[in-house]
């Protein structure tokens, strides 16, 4: 029979064995969990990482500020991805829609005509001197511009090329009916409120004037980040010398009605563009200071 001393020693050994056994089992379980997490599909692992970051209030972003951060959430789709009917040169409409409280521009040929959400071009207005944009400018399809605007666009394009910057023309003249289909396709896809931030309703698009161009040639075309590309920077610094001005600058949506569009330039004439540049106004503010003619 065990005496008291032997009994206490036995209990001590048993306790030590239990502790060692528990430690071994725990280690094996933890190792199995790590291995299991390594075997998770990539999507699940990334989702877990994202959840952990959100729970910790952290982010994988470097902290660099994006140009037009809120605006860059909207990626404007290229026109050819949308179901417009007919040629952009053909007008199918005879009457303007939703004209209540909107001023009707008398003559779209006027280079300083104010085209905003408070004005509208006539549904049957189209320039009579449209000319095709040449293939060497890499138009996205058959595109047209008024003769004077095209002449200065040619000078602009050649100057950019001489500086090692290659521009592509994504969009130019659009008819009333083409713009109507384009806006409706965006509204169907994104909702009318969102579409109204980056696309104009029929009659309210500067593209109908035949003097407006959307530039591209980068992998961030139709995005706010276009402003940081060599194309975007060259245009911002030089376009006004050829009569083209930025219609929708950054941080001015409350004034212009549209998000930052560093690719969208309108020809208003070399003299007017120089004056606009000196004044430091948005385009619609500058044009509003000039004589306007309405029906």
Which residues are part of the catalytic machinery? 261
Gap between the Cα atoms of 178 and 184, Å rounded: 10
Q: Residue with structure tokens 């902290």?
A: 63
- How far, CA to CA in Å, does 76 sit from each of 161, 197, 217? 26, 10, 15
Task: Note whether 179 and 200 are within 8 A (CB).
Answer: yes
Gap between the Cα atoms of 182 and 95, Å rounded: 18
In sequence order, which residues have a C-beta less than 8 Å from that of residue 98 and are 6 or more positions away? 201
In sequence order, which residues have a C-beta less than 8 Å from that of residue 32 and are 6 or more positions away? none
DSSP H or E run through 217: none
Residues in the chain: 295
Q: Residue with structure tokens 């579409």?
A: 195
- How far, CA to CA in Å, does 287 sit from each of 116, 121, 188, 199? 10, 15, 32, 20
Gap between the Cα atoms of 246 and 261, Å rounded: 8
């Amino acid at each position: 029979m065990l005496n008291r001393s032997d009994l206490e020693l036995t209990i001590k050994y048993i306790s030590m064995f239990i502790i060692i056994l528990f430690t071994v089992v725990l280690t094996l379980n933890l190792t199995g969990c790590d291995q299991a997490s390594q075997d998770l599909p990539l999507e699940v692992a990334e989702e877990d990482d994202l959840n952990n970051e959100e729970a910790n209030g952290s982010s994988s972003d470097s902290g660099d500020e994006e140009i037009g951060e809120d605006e860059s959430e909207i990626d404007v789709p290229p026109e050819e991805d949308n179901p417009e009917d007919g040629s952009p040169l053909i007008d199918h409409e005879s009457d303007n829609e939703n004209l209540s409280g909107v001023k009707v521009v008398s003559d779209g040929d006027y280079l300083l005509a104010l085209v905003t959400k408070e004005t509208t071009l006539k549904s049957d207005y189209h320039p009579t001197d449209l000319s095709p944009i040449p293939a060497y400018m890499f138009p996205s399809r058959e595109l047209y511009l008024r003769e004077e605007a095209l002449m200065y666009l040619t000078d602009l394009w050649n100057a950019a090329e001489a500086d090692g910057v290659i521009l592509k023309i994504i969009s130019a003249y659009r008819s009333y009916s083409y713009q109507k289909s384009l806006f409706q396709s965006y509204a169907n896809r994104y909702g009318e409120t969102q579409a109204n931030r980056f696309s104009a309703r029929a009659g309210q698009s500067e593209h109908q004037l035949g003097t407006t161009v959307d530039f591209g040639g980068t992998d961030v075309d139709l995005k706010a980040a276009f402003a940081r590309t060599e194309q975007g920077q060259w245009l911002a610094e030089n376009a006004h010398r050829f009569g083209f001005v930025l219609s929708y600058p950054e941080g001015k949506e409350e004034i212009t009605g549209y998000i930052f569009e560093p690719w969208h330039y309108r020809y208003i004439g070399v003299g007017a563009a120089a004056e606009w540049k000196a004044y430091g106004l948005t385009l619609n503010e500058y044009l509003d200071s000039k004589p306007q003619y309405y029906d």
